[in-house]
Structures are given as C-alpha cells and as structure tokens.
C-alpha cells in the first residue's frame, strides 16, 4: 500500500527531514527536551538537522515511498 508505514519506508518528519524507518512498529522514545512519545524511528538520509545516518523519528511521518518497491526486479 502506498501510504502504509512499515520498516523500509522513506518518510518525511515534522521538521522536513527525510528518513528511512528501520523498525517494524513505532516505539516510545525520549526527545532531547525530556518529553516522551511513541514514534516511528530510523536514520536520517539528509544532513538538514543532523548528520546522515543519525537517529530520526516521527510521530506522523509522511510517506515518500518504500524501499522494496524501488528495487529493480
């Protein structure tokens, strides 16, 4: 499904950073300010906020695509 969020999803977080979701389900995380929330987690694919490969998260990610659908068969 196009908008399904799952492991391997390319998505944009609330501050506009592209990330790759690396877990099957959202999980509770603690943000730098101490607040906790349940969010999808993964790695940054751009260096807009932190270095590429750094921790990425989003409570309501906007789906860009899925890596398994981008592979050439």
State pLDDT tens for residues 11-21: 999 999 999 99
**Of residues 3, 5, 1, 73, the one with CA closest to residue 39:** 5
**Of residues 51, 31, 33, the one with CA closest to residue 41:** 31
Q: Report percent pLDDT > 90 for the chain.
A: 79
**pTM of the model as a whole:** 0.88
- Which residues of the chain carry a pLDDT beneath 70? 1, 71-73
Tell me if residue 45 falls in helix, strand or coil: coil
How many degrees, rounded to 5, is the angle at CA 66 between CA 27 and CA 17?
A: 65
What is d(CA 4, CA 71) in angstroms, rounded to the nearest whole number? Answer: 17
- R_g of the chain, CA atoms, integer Å: 12
């Amino acid at each position: 499904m196009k908008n399904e969020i799952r492991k391997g999803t390319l998505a944009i977080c609330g501050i506009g950073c592209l990330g790759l979701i690396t877990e099957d389900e959202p999980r509770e995380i603690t943000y730098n300010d101490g607040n906790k929330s349940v969010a999808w987690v993964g790695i940054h694919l751009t260096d807009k906020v932190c270095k590429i490969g750094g921790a990425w998260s989003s409570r309501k990610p906007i789906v860009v695509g899925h890596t398994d659908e981008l592979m050439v068969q």
